[in-house]
């Protein structure tokens, strides 16, 4: 430990399970040397789990533990919030972390449970030391501990009134101030991408690394770029592309071994190594290839085959594929800006630059073409991490701090892990015993108090108000700010407060259910979620708009809290979540339905017409301003949930269907919900037509203008019909896109996209067989998750994949006509364009418009 100096800045990045020492390994970023220091646990922390059997019983079976397993068994004291009591569990301290599962198994043979035995040791270490990944520390050699010299960075202070009003959350504000309000360090970062030799139909695999690595590109955050290329005599050099970057260094190698060694040498200079799919391909392959070439000793890659992870001893690996694949990140941090999780799709959506598109295989590229292709991948991977003032990198740091997850774990795990970690940490901080999922289930029951509307769901969800169909002018939409998190916070919902064991609490009934909520103790989930919601609304949201000098930091913090808060209810409602308690999820939606119901009543009592509403919103027909304010004030007082005026529509067109409408704002902006023309499976020619019609409608200000617009709309639709009949649309424009959710072989049904997928598979197989002496390609070309694009056609299967369309295959005009009808019927059905005659089949849409 003597390498740590006092009064020097270190950032704790990660803790890992150190297999060699069978203990915790710690990765610290040393600011002065700009390197990661790796060392073993300096705290002498001991692994353990708990048992609720009396000490004497456990001592009696001690002989069953193999030698060097259990160090000691001691009685401890913990607060058991589930039963609102104090417990004295026996703490079984083991020699190393890997003994904990063994102890668990031995106790199980006696029918005894264990607690806190499934927490990964390197995370347990963080909860007990209360050290925070992503945070800055100093080393105090005399006490052999990390200390925090100055906790809040300049300009990030929370105003006193905010601190005071958040004091009710059991010390969470103090934790927040101490641990989260600091600079994010500047780190040496490099992105890496590799290309291998390739044969058609064969995917390079780390299990059989038979193809040489022919190019490796590295791009760092200091704008250094290196391309390492294997010279191959049979490959043309080609010509450099037009704008080869000045800073690009190209190194050529005759020998692949030297190329790999040089790569390893470069990688060792960096603290953060990022990749796109590096856990699954680039680094396993690089490592396997090093083994194949017998230079494994120079590889810095630690490959965990079972966990499908690649790590580095003196760096952290961020696989951006895994981060951007995360549903919570995709939806709440990036607002679904990208739809597919490929490097090309994500980079195109966020950076506006995708991969280089190739019209030939990797094997056919000239050396320069190969460099260009590989470099682009490395560069956009780096740029994704640094996108928008390093938003992804900063999100990773802040989320790691809040959820107390090691940075590389955070990137690889889903939001339910993050919330779990956050909750576990808070239990430890407060000295609470962490219950097993079965404890909660046994005490609170698995039954629900409500019945779900949709078959197969566990409990009832949100309320959607039946829309009043038609055109409505001047419509205000009010919505509850963070409805479910607010409810969890203000109604004190938590696994221990629902159905608590106090008789006097049984009167605090959850609306329309048989549940009651504790009024004696604050719930731990209610505290954490309520606190995050409050600090975000009270402080971060306003300050991230006002404070210009610290805007960036505040925005990132605000966004991180948004990710956690928005995902929290969903996680609580999932039976895979270790602290899952069905009554909590059930009560959350029950209070939600109650809130929207009472709001409708209130609005109607003020003579305001409620046109529509969904989960947390109400659409009000031209409400006077002062009445809106009255409703907002009432909600704050009576419901304890913030209600806000979200938007005002110049007009909104509601159909008779729920979740299907479009509205036009004062500035002409259009919002479309649920309508078919917007869905991704709708053929592009219809999407385009749909958008053009919307554009016409967005210019309408009153009823008279509608009739003018209608004429134009008619013309537009007529034109679409004509083009369809005259065969003016390309197969791409006519294509219907659907995802193959299962492997092709496991489909029992023979629906359109399955038929198309089978045709494509057969086509590729035949092509392959003709090139490989009639041998089949066993793995199959069409994989689960792939998007299938097909055209509705007249012959045979009645569908043809876009790729197999040719001049002599005709599209099915009738089928497309009915698609046009249903798409525009949805859009215009609510307008006074009467399409009933169409539905009855008397005339078609084209005749109608004539």
Partner DNA sequence: TCGATA
Partner DNA sequence: AACGGCTTATCGA
Q: Which residues bind DNA (CB under 7 A)?
A: 325-328, 331-332, 414-416, 452-455, 457-462, 464, 566-567, 569-571, 573-574, 576-577, 585, 589, 615, 657-660, 674, 676, 741, 749-752, 819, 822, 826
Enter the DSSP assignment of 642: -
**CA 426, CA 433: separation in Å to the nearest integer?**
11
Residue 178: Cβ within 10 Å count: 15
Q: Which residue matches tokens 């904990």? A: 100
Q: Residue with structure tokens 């917007």?
A: 678
CA nearest neighbour of 759 among 719, 797, 816, 722:
797
- The nearer residue to DNA, 460 or 602, going by C-beta atoms, is 460
Closer residue to DNA in complex, CB, 132/720:
720
Residue in the structure block whose two tokens are 């409602």:
573
Give phi and psi for 303, each to the nearest 5: -100, 115
Instruction: Output 63 or 454, the one with its CB closest to DNA.
Output: 454
Q: How far apart are CA 544 and CA 558, in angstroms?
A: 8
| Rounded Cα–Cα distance for residues 643 and 617 (Å) | 9
Smallest distance, Å, CB 404 to DNA? Answer: 18
Pairing between strand 464-465 and 610-614? antiparallel
Q: Smallest gap, in angstroms, from Cβ of residue 335 to DNA?
A: 12
Q: Are 480 and 616 in contact (CB under 8 A)?
A: yes
Region class of 556: left (phi > 0), else alpha (psi between -120 and 50), else beta: alpha
CA-CA distance, 843 to 824, in Å (whole number)? 15
d(CA 92, CA 332): 41
Q: Residue 18: beta bridge partners?
A: 23
* DSSP β-ladder status, 48-51 and 35-40: unpaired
H or E element in which residue 490 lies? helix 483-490
- Picking from 38, 32, 33, the residue whose alpha carbon sits closest to that of residue 12 is 38
State the Cα–Cα distance between residues 638 and 591, nearest whole angstrom. Answer: 13
Looking at beta carbons only, is 538 or 813 nearer to DNA? 813
Least distance from C-beta 433 to DNA, angstroms? 25
Nearer to DNA, 402 or 565 (CB): 565
Of 516 and 569, the one with the shorter C-beta distance to DNA is 569
Instruction: Show the tokens assigned to 84.
Output: 């609102």
The distance of closest approach from Cβ of residue 793 to DNA in the complex, given in angstroms and rounded to an integer, is 12
Q: From edge to edge, which strands make up the β-sheet containing 136-140? A: 35-40, 23-30, 10-18, 136-140, 145-147
Under DSSP, the state recorded for 433 is P
C-beta of 747: minimal distance to DNA in Å? 8
- Residue the block writes with tokens 């959820």: 403
* Short-list 497, 556, 483, 467, CA closest to 156: 556
Judged by beta carbon, residue 727 or residue 751, the one nearer DNA is 751
Joined together, the tokens standing for residue 522 give 């604050």
- Closest contact distance (angstroms) between CB of 419 and DNA is 9
303: enclosing H helix or E strand: strand 301-304
Residue (168 or 308) nearer to DNA, CB: 308
Nearer to DNA, 494 or 826 (CB): 826
Q: Which two tokens stand for residue 115?
A: 């607690």
Tell whether the torsion through CA atoms of 588, 592, 598 and 601 is positive or negative: negative
Pick the closest to residue 564 from 416, 397, 429 (CA basis).
416
* Choice between 476 and 736, CB closer to DNA: 736
- Which residues have C-beta within 8 Å of that of residue 552, sequence separation ≥ 6? 389, 394
How far apart, in whole angstroms, are the C-alpha atoms of residue 567 and residue 247?
43
Q: Toward DNA, which CB reaches closer, 402 or 567?
A: 567
> In the bound complex, what is the minimum distance in angstroms from residue 599's beta carbon to DNA?
17
How far is Cα 705 from Cα 690, in angstroms, rounded to an integer? 19
Which residues of 377-507 form beta strands (DSSP E)? Answer: 464-465, 470-480
If the CB atoms of residues 299 and 494 are measured against DNA, the closer one turns out to be 494
Residue 191 or 415: the one with the smaller Cβ distance to DNA is 415
C-beta of 384 vs 654, nearer to DNA: 654
For residues 326 and 560, which CB has a smaller minimum distance to DNA in the complex?
Answer: 326
Question: Which of residues 1 and 749 has its CB atom nearest to DNA in the complex?
Answer: 749
- Considering the complex, what minimum distance in angstroms separates the CB of residue 282 from DNA? 19
Shortest distance in whole angstroms from residue 122 CB to DNA: 17
Residue 498 burial (C-beta neighbours within 10 Å; 0-12, 13-18, 19+): buried
| 423 versus 459: smaller Cβ distance to DNA | 459
What is the closest distance, in whole angstroms, from the C-beta atom of residue 171 to DNA in the complex?
28
Q: How far is the CB of 649 from DNA (least distance, A)?
A: 20
Nearest approach, Cβ of 755 to DNA (angstroms)? 7
C-alpha Rg value of the chain to the nearest Å: 31
Closest distance to DNA from the beta carbon of 799 (Å): 8
Q: Select from 660, 614, 650 the least CA-distant residue to 472.
A: 650
Smallest gap from residue 516 Cβ to DNA (A): 21
Shortest Å, Cβ 798 to DNA: 8
Least separation in angstroms between residue 255's CB and DNA is 39
Choose among 321, 296, 295: nearest CA to 308.
321
Distance CA 350, CA 255 (A): 38
533 within 8 A of 565, measured Cβ to Cβ = yes
Task: Report the nearest approach of DNA to the CB of residue 655 (Å).
Answer: 8
The nearest distance, CB 656 to DNA, in angstroms, is 8
If the CB atoms of residues 365 and 754 are measured against DNA, the closer one turns out to be 754
Sign of the alpha-carbon dihedral angle for 130, 134, 138, 142: positive
Backbone angles phi, psi at 395, to 5 degrees: -60, -45
* The pair of three-digit structure tokens given for residue 67, joined into one six-digit string: 């030698």
């Amino acid at each position: 430990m003597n390498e740590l100096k006092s009064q020097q800045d270190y950032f704790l990045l990660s803790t890992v399970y150190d297999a060699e020492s069978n203990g915790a390994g710690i990765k610290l970023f040393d600011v002065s040397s700009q390197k990661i220091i790796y060392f073993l646990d300096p705290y002498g922390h001991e692994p353990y789990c708990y048992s609720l059997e009396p000490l004497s019983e456990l001592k009696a079976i001690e002989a069953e533990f193999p030698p060097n397993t259990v160090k000691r068994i001691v009685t401890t004291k913990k607060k058991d919030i589930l039963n609102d009591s104090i417990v004295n569990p026996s703490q079984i301290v083991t020699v190393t972390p890997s003994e904990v599962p063994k102890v668990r198994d031995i106790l199980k043979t006696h029918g005894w449970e264990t607690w806190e035995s499934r927490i990964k040791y390197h995370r347990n270490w963080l909860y007990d030391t209360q050290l925070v990944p992503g945070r800055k520390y100093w080393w105090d050699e005399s006490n052999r501990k990390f200390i925090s010299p100055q906790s809040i960075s300049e300009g990030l202070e929370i105003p006193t009134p905010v601190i005071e009003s958040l004091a009710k959350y059991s010390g969470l504000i103090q934790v927040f101030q101490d641990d989260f309000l600091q600079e994010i360090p500047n780190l040496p970062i490099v992105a890496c991408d590799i290309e291998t030799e390739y044969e058609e139909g064969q995917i390079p695999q780390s299990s059989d690394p038979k193809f040489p690595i022919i190019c490796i590109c590295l791009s760092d955050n200091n704008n250094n770029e290196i391309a390492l290329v294997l010279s191959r005599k049979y490959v043309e050099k080609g010509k450099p592309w037009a704008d080869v970057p000045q800073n690009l260094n190209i190194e050529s190698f005759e020998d692949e071994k030297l190329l790999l060694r040089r790569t390893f040498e470069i990688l060792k200079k960096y603290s953060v190594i990022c990749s796109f799919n590096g856990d699954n391909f680039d680094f396993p392959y690089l490592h396997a290839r090093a083994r194949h070439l017998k230079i494994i000793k120079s590889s810095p890659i630690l490959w965990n085959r079972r966990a499908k992870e690649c790590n580095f001893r003196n760096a952290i690996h961020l696989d951006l594929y895994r981060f951007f694949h995360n549903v919570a990140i995709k939806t709440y941090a990036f607002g679904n800006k990208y739809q597919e999780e490929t490097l090309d799709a994500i980079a195109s959506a966020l950076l506006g630059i995708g991969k280089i598109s190739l019209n030939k295989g990797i094997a056919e590229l000239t050396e320069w073409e190969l460099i260009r292709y590989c470099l682009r991948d490395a560069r956009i991977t780096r740029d994704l991490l640094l996108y928008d003032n390093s938003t992804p990198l900063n999100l990773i740091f802040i989320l790691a701090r809040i959820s107390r997850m090691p940075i590389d774990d955070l990137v690889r795990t889903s939001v339910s892990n993050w919330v779990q970690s956050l909750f576990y940490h808070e239990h430890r901080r407060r000295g609470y015993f962490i219950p097993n999922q079965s404890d909660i289930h046994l005490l609170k029951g698995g039954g629900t108090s409500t019945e779900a509307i949709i078959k197969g769901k566990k409990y009832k969800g949100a309320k959607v108000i039946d829309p009043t169909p038609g055109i409505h002018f001047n419509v205000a939409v009010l919505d509850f700010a963070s409805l479910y998190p607010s409810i969890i916070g203000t109604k004190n919902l938590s696994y221990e407060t629902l159905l608590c064991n106090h008789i006097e609490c049984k009167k605090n009934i959850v609306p329309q259910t048989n549940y009651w909520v504790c009024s004696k103790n604050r719930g731990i989930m209610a505290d954490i979620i309520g606190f995050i919601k409050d600090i975000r609304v009270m402080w971060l949201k306003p300050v991230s708009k006002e404070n210009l000098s610290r805007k960036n930091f505040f925005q990132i913090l605000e966004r991180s809290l948004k990710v956690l808060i928005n995902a929290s209810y969903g996680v609580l409602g999932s039976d895979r979540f270790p602290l899952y308690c069905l009554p909590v999820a059930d009560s959350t939606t029950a209070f939600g339905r109650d809130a929207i119901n009472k709001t409708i009543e209130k609005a109607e009592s003020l003579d305001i017409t409620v046109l529509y509403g969904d989960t947390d919103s109400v659409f009000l027909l031209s409400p006077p301003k002062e009445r809106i304010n009255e409703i907002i004030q009432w909600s704050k007082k009576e419901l304890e949930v913030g209600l806000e005026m979200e938007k005002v529509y110049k007009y909104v067109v509601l159909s008779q269907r729920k979740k299907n409408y479009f509205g036009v704002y004062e500035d002409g902006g259009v919002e479309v919900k649920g309508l078919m023309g917007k869905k991704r499976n709708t053929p592009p020619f219809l999407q385009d037509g749909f958008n053009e019609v919307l554009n016409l409608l967005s210019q309408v200000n009153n009823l008279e203008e509608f009739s003018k617009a209608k004429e134009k709309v008619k013309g537009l639709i007529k034109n679409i019909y004509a083009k369809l009949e005259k065969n003016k649309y390309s197969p791409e424009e006519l294509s219907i896109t659907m995802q193959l959710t299962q492997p092709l072989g496991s489909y029992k049904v023979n629906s359109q996209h399955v038929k198309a997928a089978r045709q494509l598979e057969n086509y590729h197989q035949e092509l392959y067989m003709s090139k490989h002496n009639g041998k089949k390609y066993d793995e199959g070309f069409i994989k689960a998750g792939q998007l299938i694009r097909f055209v509705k056609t007249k012959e045979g299967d009645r569908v043809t994949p876009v790729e197999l369309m040719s001049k002599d295959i005709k599209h099915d005009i009738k089928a497309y006509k009915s698609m046009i009808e249903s798409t525009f019927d949805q859009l215009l059905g609510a307008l006074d364009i009467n399409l009933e005659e169409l539905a009855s089949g008397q005339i078609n849409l084209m005749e109608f418009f004539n």
